[in-house]
Structure 1
Amino acid sequence: MSKLQVKPENHKIFVFHKVFEFASAKQQAEKKKLNAFGLFAKFNPLKRPTDETVLLKNQVLRYEPFWFISSRRNLDYTCAVTYAIPVHNPHVTAVEIKDTEASVYPVIRQQDKAKIDVQVIEQCHRSIEFSQYFDGLKRDMKQSIWSEYIKKFQHEDVQQVNLDNVVQPQLTVDALTSMVRAELQNQVINATSIEHDLEEISALYLYFRPVYAFEYHWSSADKIGVIEVDGLTGEIIENGHWFKETFEGTFTRDNLVELSAELASTVVPGAGTVLKIASKVIS
């Protein structure tokens, strides 16, 4: 069974600085507000939203989470195998290897080829690495989106996030840990015996990026639609969401460490594997 150990120094929180201001984002949302209720409503000839019937109900600048996790599995193991060693001298009938229990090995000949079979124990070391970004709200997002944010836009390492409307991650501690361990454990290890098996999550970074959300009410149909505007790229999402689960008060790096420590006291299934947690995800 595995024990979880926490490395607090590898927990980090980053906050992106917004590029677009509220007024600019709102102007873009107003241009697209009639598209907030889906294609069917937009192209319905009998009843469609209009500028007069679609009015702004709520607006917010929120900070959405995504994660970066880097992990490694280090194994020391042995493997009992047979080495087939070619013999080139056509006159050899046996080969003697000094300092071995079975010192004489008969030569096996097949047509014009000859060999000896030697039983050996291989001492092996293998390192398996896995790293990936995860959307904190469990949406199907391309990996390149997150890496491009980090490359292009200013963000800072912070000890606490005391902004308004910081959205709580929906990706739980158990879910993320299970996904990462599955990736590390999914590799086939051809071993006779495993001497050391160490899984280490060496980095877990939590990022918060700014997103503007504008909630519109279509009065004649009594429907609600949301337009989102990315606070970094200005990209518009017409079929947006209004996330209500936000942190109450300040969220700190210590909070993240504490949540990881709670998980460290649990037992994780594994064939003698020590899971050395450098960091974990928020529940």
Structure 2
Amino acid sequence: MDVELAEERVLILADRFNMDHAEGRAWTKRTDAFGTMAKITGFLSRPRDDDHEVIYRERRLQPFFRIGCTATMTYERRKDYRVAVDANVTNVEIDGRMHVVTGGAYTLTGTETCHDEIHREVYYDAISGSPDPSAAQYLQHEAKVIDAAGLAKAAAEGAVVVPPAAKASMLVRDVLASSIERIEADKVLEEKLSLHHIDLYYRPVYAFRYRWQGKEAVVEFDGVTGETRTGGSTFEQFLGHKIDAEFLINAGVEAAGIFIPGARLAEIVISKSLKAQKDKKN
């Protein structure tokens, strides 16, 4: 089996808004963040601005993974074809070979050449490791490749850079495994897995924690789409943390070295050079 690995990348999505705009939008949702009772209270008696206190503001870079894969299989298999004939036919001669008719048909044996391609592109929340199809919407927006130094600079400027808790190699393995189907073959001519994308994206999120009547709630503002939602989280525990430059290294290589259920037992050939990864470790 040949495995072609894409270059592992870290990308950051462009922020379309600033803190002031985000806070203004979040402020309009502050009552909703405290649930039904707060809405009822607000309906009966309009709350004053000083009823809600902003006790924490955060601009963070939140991660998700994009993993794209194509499985290609070319193989041969022998197959019998039943050819129906008229009821009074007893034999059929084709290319000098006589075929006996039984049950109103005769049998031809041939060799089929088959070619299958399976394409998969999966998005994962890089914190929980759960599939997150909604992350596909961010690919419509501008993003640029960034490295650990760039993320460290963002952290130094006050952004909370959330590290991925999910292990990239395990996610890659799952995508590879789900891209392989069992085949009926007498001879395999080609079996290849191509990883097109092993990308870790960071998207900007603004979060505001409010206090009202002794309770706390969070409103998040998406720095890319401009959407505002309640019930979010804050990640101040990562504020000022050192950026780990090794979080993506060998994601694809590690996964390729794990047996993939359903795959033909064959030597796995890694066609991507590992020199760049070795250089990073030196």
Q: TM-score, normalised by structure 1?
A: 0.73
> Which structure shows the higher strand fraction?
1
Deviation at 1:36, TM superposition (A): 2.1
Whether contact under 8 Å (1:168, 1:245) holds in the other structure is no
Distance in 2 of aligned mates of 1:60 and 1:24: 13
Partners of 1:150 and 1:129 in 2: CA distance: 18
Give yes or no for contact 2:122–2:131 (8 Å, CA) kept in 1. Answer: no
Where does the alignment leave 5 or more consecutive residues of structure 2 unmatched?
273-282
Q: In structure 2, what is the equivalent of residue 75 of structure 1?
A: 73
User: How many residues of Structure 1 are paired with residues of Structure 2 in the alignment?
Assistant: 260
Counterpart in the other structure of 2:162: 167
* Structure-2 residue corresponding to 1:197: 191
Stretches of structure 1 that go unaligned for 5 or more consecutive residues are 279-283
Q: 1:245 to 1:126 in 2, by over 3 A?
A: farther
Q: In the TM superposition, what is the alpha-carbon distance from 1:19 to its structure 2 partner?
A: 1.2
Q: How many angstroms apart in 1 are the aligned matches of 2:253 and 2:241?
A: 21
Aligned counterparts of 2:209 and 2:271: Cα–Cα separation in 1: 40
- 1:183 matched to which residue of 2? 178
d(CA) in 2 for partners of 1:140, 1:266: 21
Partners of 1:68 and 1:277 in 2: CA distance: 21
The AA in structure 2 aligned to 1:181 is L
| Conserved 8 A contact 2:66-2:198 | yes
Q: 1:75 to 1:40 in 2, by over 3 A?
A: farther
SS at match of 2:20: helix
Identity %: 23
CA deviation after TM superposition for structure 1 residue 70, in Å: 1.3
Contact 1:14 1:155 in 2 (8 A): yes
CA contact (8 A) 2:170 2:255 kept: no
**Please, which of 21, 26, 29 is the counterpart of residue 24 of structure 1?**
21
Q: Aligned Cα RMSD in Å?
A: 3.7
Q: Higher helix proportion, which one? A: 2
* C-alpha deviation, 1:24, in angstroms: 1.4
Q: Is the 8 A contact 1:38 1:239 kept in 2?
A: no
Structure 1 residues 1-283: aligned runs within 5 Å: 7=5, 10-43=7-40, 51-86=49-84, 93-97=91-95, 103-108=97-102, 110=104, 115-138=105-128, 143=133, 145-151=134-140, 153-160=141-148, 161-162=151-152, 163-164=154-155, 165-173=160-168, 175-185=170-180, 187=181, 189-192=183-186, 194=188, 196-218=190-212, 220-221=213-214, 223-243=215-235, 246=238, 248-252=241-245, 255-269=247-261, 270-272=263-265, 274=268
Retained in 2: the 8 A contact 1:75–1:196? yes
Q: Residue 79 of structure 1: CA displacement?
A: 2.3
